[in-house]
Amino acid sequence: MTNEIINKMIEAINFGISGALYEFNKNGSSEFYNREYARICGMIRMLEIATDKCYYFDENGLHEKATA
């Protein structure tokens, strides 16, 4: 895949993370938060398939796992 598409995928994931974090801070583990969390996990899985790399996320956004 091209870097442009990969960057758009990462941008979309980070946008979802910030939205889920906002929802969690406002309402806790709500139905919307749970759906958004599952969607983020699915998007990360597709990114891993496209890039053959591993990723994780936290409240600061998406991160690439360091390879040992």
- Longest Cα pair distance anywhere in the chain, in angstroms? 38
Q: At what angle do helices 31-51 and 3-27 cross, to 10 degrees?
A: 160
Q: Give the model confidence (pLDDT) of 12-61 as tens digits.
A: 999 999 999 999 999 999 999 999 999 999 999 999 999 999 999 999 99
pLDDT at residue 1 tops 80: no
Q: pLDDT at position 67, please?
A: 76
pTM: 0.87
